[in-house]
Each structure stands twice: as structure tokens, then as C-alpha cells.
Amino acid sequence: MGIMRFNYRSQAIGRYIDISVVYPTDNLSYFDPALEKKHPVAAPEKLQYKPGMKFQTVYLIHGGGDDDSLVYRYTNAEYFAQRNWVMLVTPDIANSFGINTNYEVEYSTFLNEELPVVIQTLFASSPKREDNFIVGYAMGGNAAFGNALMYPQNYHTCVDMSGGIGLTVNMQTLKDELNSDHFRNDFKLYGASFGKAEDLDGSRHDMYALARKNLERGIELPKFYFIAGSEEGFIRDRCKADAVTLKELGYDSTYIEAEGFRHDFVMWDKYLQIVFDDILPLKRRPIYPD
């Protein structure tokens, strides 16, 4: 794999942001395979680098307390991407829940309006909706789910793994969390990000209203997958409830329970493999220009 850490000044965030970018380069050759006998390194199974070639792209969103590099250190995401010929993009979204926060930092605008333009301009990422996917774990799973609802035109498929905190289509759950002593006293960032429970209905954080509006508009919607470990407790229950509510509304929504797994990288490594190998509709080859 080719991997780099790209740093640039984000207008949406108002500061420099780190982004990890992964390319499936191991089976690409600069050399024409037809001339293999003249070049011992070239191999028949290798494909060629060609100007203008593109890759399908997965925006892989990290969990709370992590950064853009951790998923590549704690899982085999690079390897899974390599064997499936897909490009990965992981931005550092801090502990933001991937939303336009009530403290006026616009992470959702960054993720969906600014970042794709930057990535598709400076890197070999296909701009077609059918070639773009959003996947996340923990806080990042929830961010993936919420942002796919907010920007359905950007993504073909969304996978939320263990996203049991933050955005939800079951608004009473979020209200109860914001009003709870735990979140008020021990996790004040939650309230600072989402605001007061009584102000949620009709706000930009009202995912139920947004989900219904998407249906009324008759637009093409992503496919949604929710994955949670059987041992994840309230996180499992929250993920399952979001999957069920979306399905009841009319979305293509699937819930997968990972029997025996907990909220950790053992689960996320295993299910990232399943996501890349089995769930995402990948072409598994570069996209060459016509």
C-alpha cells in the first residue's frame, strides 16, 4: 500500500487538519506487462499506472479519542483496502461527533462539502457517487451514519460500526442523554456540541426529521448497515434501534449483530474485513479513463 499523511488548512474548520490517505499500489506497475520479458520485476498480474486513473474511495471515520492514524495502527484496514483495490481517506475530526457543533465549528461541512472537493482534486479519487462510501467505528460510525443522512448525494453505502453515541433518528434517546447527570456532569462536550435537549426538534441535529424529508424529496438514498457487538450493551441497543427506525421509514437498512464481540479493535478489525470483502459494492480494480 501507499500511505501518506496530508496536512492542509481547512476553511470549514479554521485550522490545519491531518488526513491519512491510503492507495492500493502494491499490484500496480509503471512497466508495460506486454514487455515483461525485458523487465524481471514486472509480473503478468500487475496492472499499470495510467494518467487519469481513479479509485473507488472509502471515507473511514475514526472513533472518539482517536486520530486519523490510529485505525491503521490498530487494524488491518490497509491490507483489506489493498486486496479490494479501494482508496481510503481518514480525516482527523477530533471529538466532534462529525457535526456542525453548537460551539460553531463545522465538522459536517468539512466532511461533506470541503473534503471531497479537496480529495477529488488533489488525489486519484473517483467523483462518482457510486464509487464513494462512508464507514466508521464508535463515534466515527455514528458520524458516518449521520452524515450519510445529511449528504445522501455523496455516498452509495454507509456502514456504522458501534456508533452508539451522538446522532440518532430516535430523538428521545439523544434528549434523555443530554438531560442525564452523566452527560451533564462528566461529559460536558456532549451538551456543548448538541445544545439543549429542548432545542433539538427541528434543529440541524434532528435526524428523524431529516430522514423523513429525504424520503419526501424522492432522492436516491444510500444503503445503510449497522453493526454492533452482542456484548456492547447500550451501544448495541442504540445501533439496532437506528437500523430498525430507518427501515420502518422506508430506507434500505440492515442490522448485523456480531456475536461475542465487544466495543474494541478486535471487533472493528474483524468487521472492517467483512465490510471491504463482502458488504461494499466494490469494483476491485482501478478505474481507467475512457
Give me the domains of the chain, ranges plus CATH numbers. Answer: 18-23+56-279 (3.40.50.1820)
- Alpha carbons 126 and 252: distance in angstroms, whole number: 24
pLDDT of residue 166: 93
Our CA angle for 29, 34, 36, nearest 5°, is 65
Q: Please say whether the beta carbons of 116 and 132 come within 8 A.
A: yes
pLDDT tier at 46 (50, 70, 90 boundaries)?
A: confident
Residue 143: phi and psi, rounded to 5, are -65, -40
| pLDDT above 90: residue 1 | no
Could you tell me what percent of the chain has a pLDDT over 70? Answer: 96
| pLDDT above 90: residue 43 | no
Q: Closest Cα to residue 84, out of 290, 289, 286?
A: 286
Cell numbers 481510503: residue:
88
| pLDDT above 60: residue 247 | yes
- CA separation (Å) from 256 to 160, 242, 269, 279? 10, 12, 15, 11
Q: Closest Cα to residue 121, out of 220, 8, 208, 290?
A: 8
No. of H helices and E strands in the chain? 11, 10
pLDDT of residue 45: 65
> Mean per-residue pLDDT for 189-200?
95
Q: Is the dihedral of CA 59, 62, 68, 73 positive or negative?
A: negative
Average confidence score pLDDT of the chain: 94
- Alpha carbons 286 and 82: distance in angstroms, whole number: 11
pLDDT of residue 32: 73
Q: What is the pTM of this model?
A: 0.95
pLDDT of residue 38: 56
